[in-house]
Structure 1
Amino acid sequence: MKKVKKDKNTLVGHLAELRKRLIICAAALIVLSSVSYMYIKPVVMEILKPAGKYEFIYLTPSELFLSYIKLSLIAGTTLAAPIIFLEIWIFIKPALKKEEKRYIFLSLMGGSLLFLIGVTFAYKVVIPFTLEFFSNMNIDEVKPMISFQSYIGFITTLILCFGIVFELPILMILLTQFGILKVRFLKKNRKYIILIVFIIAAIITPPDIISQVLIAGPMLLLFEFGVVLSKIIEKKKNRGNTALRS
């Protein structure tokens, strides 16, 4: 029986290459999550800093352990993100044209930077402000007894939401570059987009108006920033098309 040659240009070759990249990503995620678990206590102490005067409890024997596992996976995923992005880039690079390679590579780098900015903004600004706001609503008759798991869920939801939301300009640039999105459409439907932004903010944030406003505000600013960048990209594309015709 003849062996199937695993040429990268064949379907078998592409599947083998994809399998290799997935294994590397999974290995990086497992190793870095395990390392994160080994140093989980400093991570927990850092996460507790924004809580200030809040005190936490855990309600079931396994709650603290499961929270540690969750934090380790989040930390491991964050640390493994550069490796995952690199593997994605290596896999898709051969199928891209020269101009597409440049835009995709810059988008991956820019997306990583914006994600970190979003996470930092959530941790340094949004979370302390939100926790301070809620702590001021306490009354003597009702003592706060917050479970550690609830706090971790609240923190990670906000951090991930802001990290993803800050990717909006990159997404808009890519859609404009590949001709899927038009600046004229964005300007014409701005009021509907603003409404959608507030709806999304209400869905992805905890059920309080403060968190919703804090995430909707940056989303609108990022949208306007994305419109400006998309306009620049679209003008550049139009000039290039005009030059080709002439």
Structure 2
Amino acid sequence: MTQQPDGQQSPPEQQEMPLVEHLLELRNRLLKMVLAVIVCFAAIYPFANDLYLWLSEPLRALLPEGQTMIATDVTSPFFAPLKLALVVSLFAAIPVVLYQLWSFIAPGLYAHEKRLAFPLLFTSVILFYAGAAFAYFVVFPLVFGFFTAIGPEGILELPDISSYLDFVLKMFFAFGVAFEIPIATVLLILTGITTPQDLAAKRPYVVVACFVIGMLLTPPDIISQTMLAVPMWILFEFGIIFGRLARREVADAGPDEPTDE
């Protein structure tokens, strides 16, 4: 069994495993991830048009009577639902992707690292979904209500389906990533880059940074910027709390012990 510089033993699975075997295992894991996405896409694509109607409902519900969405490109009625189905397939396959990643890295982790790594991975996925859901159910009605209300009178509002899809996917990504702040905060604390006390002392700068990020990632209106900045700040505070708990968990775990899993 190999020895670490500090005299601690490496996990058994990290013993002289040939590089080729590592690469073959990685290839097999990646193939399973791709296969999961393909299977999800095959199941979702027949409902792509219905899925797009559901996605566009927050905007269509606010359009004046007699106005609707249009396709300005000949291929948009086909490619917009197709793109949406592919993105939803990636979302749906996340549990399989997460499991394959975990199966690949878990053999090289110590027991206390496993106790923390999987909850962090799982929680990161849940938080990303939560961010996307927050954008759809809370932010979109406010943002679209604002945009449809301030337009000049006599202007016919006919949003393009491709432009709308690009906009909402950008918003989903922005809020999904923003909701990962607790995970990033915990990792910064666990790796020793910073401490909960240092992060708490920098709170005023973090609040300003949240509003700057909200300004960069959202449309140029105060509503959507605030709706992103405030949850980011709240999630930062949760990250500090959970960072303290995680660091205490590592301290209580004691010396690293290899596992046989």
TM-score (norm 1): 0.88
Q: Quick check: 1:8–1:14 contact (8 Å CA) kept in 2?
A: no
Residue in 2 that maps onto 1:43: 51
Q: Distance in 1 between matches of 2:152 and 2:215?
A: 27
Deviation at 1:238, TM superposition (A): 5.1
Opposite residue 105 of structure 2, the aligned amino acid is I
Deviation at 1:134, TM superposition (A): 1.4
Deviation at 1:100, TM superposition (A): 0.6
Residue in 2 that maps onto 1:244: none
Opposite residue 153 of structure 2, the aligned amino acid is D
Q: Quick check: 2:37–2:93 contact (8 Å CA) kept in 1?
A: yes
Opposite residue 42 of structure 2, the aligned amino acid is S
Where in structure 2 are the equivalents of 1:172-191 lying within 5 Å? Answer: 172-191=185-204
Opposite residue 81 of structure 2, the aligned amino acid is Y
Q: Is 2:210 the counterpart of 1:197?
A: yes
Deviation track 1:168-206 (CA, whole Å, cap 9, x = no partner) reads 112222332232331122122222222222222222223
Residue in 2 that maps onto 1:97: 110
Q: Which fold has the larger relative contact order, with Cα–Cα distance below 8 Å and residues 6 or more apart in sequence? A: 2
Alignment size in residue pairs:
236
Q: Is 2:152 the counterpart of 1:143?
A: no
Q: Quick check: 2:112–2:253 contact (8 Å CA) kept in 1?
A: no
Q: Distance in 2 between matches of 1:200 and 1:214?
A: 12
- Structure 2: which 5+ residue stretches go unaligned? 1-14, 255-261
Q: Quick check: 1:57–1:147 contact (8 Å CA) kept in 2?
A: yes
Candidates 4, 21, 38, aligned match of 1:13? 21
Q: Distance in 2 between matches of 1:104 and 1:234?
A: 13
Opposite residue 170 of structure 2, the aligned amino acid is T
Opposite residue 206 of structure 1, the aligned amino acid is P
Where in structure 2 are the equivalents of 1:165-176 lying within 5 Å? Answer: 165-176=178-189
Opposite residue 33 of structure 1, the aligned amino acid is F
Q: Quick check: 1:172–1:181 contact (8 Å CA) kept in 2?
A: no
Q: Distance in 2 between matches of 1:92 and 1:233?
A: 20
Residue in 1 that maps onto 2:230: 217
Say which structure is richer in helix: 1
Change (3 A) 1:146 1:173: same
Residue in 2 that maps onto 1:63: 76
Candidates 45, 50, 53, aligned match of 2:62? 53
Deviation at 1:101, TM superposition (A): 0.8
- The RMSD of aligned alpha carbons is 2.1
Q: Is 2:36 the counterpart of 1:28?
A: yes
Q: Distance in 2 between matches of 1:204 and 1:140?
A: 29
TM-score (norm 2): 0.83
Change (3 A) 1:59 1:100: same
Deviation at 1:99, TM superposition (A): 0.6
Q: Quick check: 2:112–2:250 contact (8 Å CA) kept in 1?
A: no
Q: Distance in 2 between matches of 1:22 and 1:239?
A: 35
Where in structure 2 are the equivalents of 1:97-136 lying within 5 Å? Answer: 97-136=110-149
Instruction: Between 137-146 and 125-134, report the one with greater CA deviation.
Output: 137-146
Q: Quick check: 1:173–1:226 contact (8 Å CA) kept in 2?
A: yes
Q: Quick check: 2:128–2:179 contact (8 Å CA) kept in 1?
A: yes
Deviation track 1:92-147 (CA, whole Å, cap 9, x = no partner) reads 00111111111111112212222222221111111111111111113322221211
Change (3 A) 1:102 1:237: closer
Deviation at 1:14, TM superposition (A): 0.9
Change (3 A) 1:134 1:77: same
Q: Distance in 2 between matches of 1:56 and 1:73?
A: 21
Residue in 1 that maps onto 2:12: none
Report the identity percentage. Answer: 32
Opposite residue 43 of structure 1, the aligned amino acid is L
Q: Which runs of 4+ in 1 moved over 6 A?
A: none
